[in-house]
Chains A and B, each alone.
Chain A
Amino acid sequence: MEKRTQFPVGWLPYALVAPQLAITIVFFVWPAGQALWQSLLVQDAFGTHTEFVWFENFDVLFADETYIESFKVTAKFSALVAGFGLSISLVLAACCDHVLRGAKAYQTLIIWPYAVAPAIAAVIWAFMFNPTVGILAHGMQLLGYDWNHLLNSGQAMTLVVVSALFKLIPYDFLFFLAGLQSIPKSLIEAAAIDGAGPIRRFFTIAFPLLSPTSFFLLVVNLVYAFFDTFAIIDAATAGGPARSTTILVYKVFHDGFRGMDLGGSAAQSVILMAIVISLTVVQFRFIERKVQY
């Protein structure tokens, strides 16, 4: 798509795109290329000697049990986050769409946590779940349930999932609400005249019509769970206990900056890039085609 007339070309358009391009090349294209190149090298401990080893870093990575474990943790984490995020926010959006009085106020009071930094949300939730001072952990102790996410890996996972959902639900909620509000009222009324109740109308009309929104949100939620939750993991559990919340992005950071394993960290970066790119391609493909019945 282009405008049918254009301004005459001189040096101006180049000057206009120059700042954007310069930053893109220096901070995106160059480092990404470095990561690709680095993933094929092995460096000794003192950084004096590097050797080109083709795909050995990748072989080592996939033979590494902790890496496979981290994949499983990431899969579990993102499935929980996306699953709960989508279902809770869909129910809330449907309710908010149904009520007439106070809908705007509910919307405001549900979406504000989007503004809270993931790290801050994680610190507050970790405080509430803290075994010695946390109100929620204390409440569970009174009910006879022993909570200590510093020792129990399932509880640590619950903590990071809850912190991640805190920011994600407002986002999903807004999109579902916008989707529900754009459904023509005549469809709903016609179904009501035919005798369909609210639940039935939701599943036969609203739910299918929301499928493009849901699919889009699914991809966004997966990207969020994969990459944007680094702060939550670092602030709430630091990947523990016993690596039970070490998701892939956390492992890249940990191996690269704490373990100083440059080649291995770069290989992990390359795999992550492949995941992002494939998710983005999937997203664009399906959005073009519009999932709908």
Chain B
Amino acid sequence: MVENRPGLTFFCHALLIVSVIVVAFPLYIAFIASTHTAERMFELPLPLLPGSEAWENYSTVLLHGVAGASTAPVSHMMFNSLVVALTVTIGKISISILSAFAIVYFRFPLKNFFFWMIFITLMLPVEVRILPTYKVIADLGLLDTYAGLTIPLIASATATFLFRQFFMTIPDELMEAARIDGASALRFFWDVVLPLSKTNIAALFVILFIYGWNQYLWPLLVTTQEDMYTVVIGIKRMIPGGDASVDWNLVMATAMLALAPPALVVLLMQRWFVKGLVDTEK
């Protein structure tokens, strides 16, 4: 701040407060809806304050799912989401840190070819090649399995790039010293590179966990059995075509449960989240 302008400062605060409220409003409405009975949703005036059915609604969706919609209990779908999110996150980080290490610390034939092949994957989101990828999974017999849900999402160039950029900044002297001391490549990786990468791994973890948890198109294609649904696609199945028979209170309770884990990760690990977001797009 270079000068005092109370008017402008007041205007900025006002605008920020309004936008914070606008952003929080959907969450509030979803929460309110999740604490009322299904009938209350259709009565005027529409509910604006919490009702008394919160316990009832949340335990219903967690233990039994939504009646009429063919979905598993939400607790089971959240378990599926957790498995997918963690597998994708850990898988992505491990395979890309290894390949980045190979690309930076070794000079071997075909290295550039491999690098470019990984680079190309960055360009092609699942959305543009859904049908052939689906066919590959079907041919391998991986429909309705955790492997089919996660493995195609594991390959991505972003994490490889990030680790490559970071390894480039590690001083060469560390590696030379390690070699003089007789350390093998794997030992150098384990004792020097991995500890140095901790912050990058934490930042990537946050971003990739959100990415994995929020996947939509791929689980939608690969799962046909309700006990394999993740919670994000499960919620879509609770809303059939017409809107007459939707239990909005239960749908909103599910929505609250589905958005809680990634939102908590962002709030609790905000520092890593910001770093991860800014880094992965460099």
Contact = CB atoms under 8 A, between A and B. Distances in A.
A3 to B, nearest CB: 6
Contacts of A110: 16, 19-20, 23
B277 A174 contact: yes
Contacts, number: 283
B263 A24 contact: no
Nearest to B249: A133
Given A92-B15, A100-B1, A220-B281, 6 more contacts: A5-B176, A99-B9, A108-B270, A117-B214, A188-B2, A234-B216
Contacts of B172: 3-5
A119 B108 contact: no
Q: Which 9 A-B pairs have the closest CB atoms?
A: A31-B132, A117-B214, A231-B216, A16-B102, A34-B132, A23-B155, A95-B12, A115-B262, A13-B106
B1 A98 contact: yes
Interface stretch (B50-58, B64-72, B119-127): B119-127
Interface string B223-250: 0000000001101100100010000100
Interface in A186-216: 188-189, 192, 198, 216
Contacts of B176: 5
A98 B12 CA distance: 7
21 contacts: A5-B179, A9-B108, A13-B111, A16-B99, A16-B102, A17-B98, A24-B155, A28-B155, A30-B132, A30-B136, A96-B16, A111-B270, A117-B232, A119-B235, A119-B236, A123-B255, A166-B23, A174-B278, A227-B127, A257-B130, A273-B129
A11 B20 CA distance: 55
Contacts of A9: 106-108
Interface in A117-157: 117-121, 123-125, 127-128, 130, 132-133, 135, 138, 150
Interface stretch (A48-56, A57-65, A70-78, A262-270): A262-270
B251 interface: yes
Interface string B85-114: 000000000011011011111111001001
Interface of B: 1-3, 5, 8-9, 11-13, 15-16, 19-20, 23-24, 26-27, 29-30, 33, 41-42, 44, 46, 48, 95-96, 98-99, 101-108, 111, 114, 117-118, 120-125, 127-133, 135-136, 151-152, 154-155, 160, 168, 172, 175-176, 179, 185-186, 188, 210, 213-214, 216-217, 220-221, 232-233, 235-236, 239, 243, 248, 251-252, 255, 258-259, 262-263, 265-267, 270, 273-274, 277-278, 281
Interface of A: 1-7, 9, 12-14, 16-17, 19-21, 23-32, 34-35, 38, 91-92, 95-96, 98-100, 102, 106, 108-121, 123-125, 127-128, 130, 132-133, 135, 138, 150, 166, 171, 174-175, 178, 185, 188-189, 192, 198, 216, 220, 227-228, 230-231, 234-235, 249, 252-253, 256-257, 262, 265-266, 269, 272-273, 276-277, 280
A28 B16 contact: no
A26 B136 contact: yes
A1 B95 CA distance: 22
B132 A38 contact: yes
Nearest to B47: A135
Contact of A23 (B46, B122, B152, B277): B152
Contacts of B232: 117, 119-120, 231
Contacts of A252: 127-128, 130-131
A267 B263 CA distance: 38
Q: Which of A16, A17, A35, A150 has most chain B Cβ within 10 Å?
A: A17
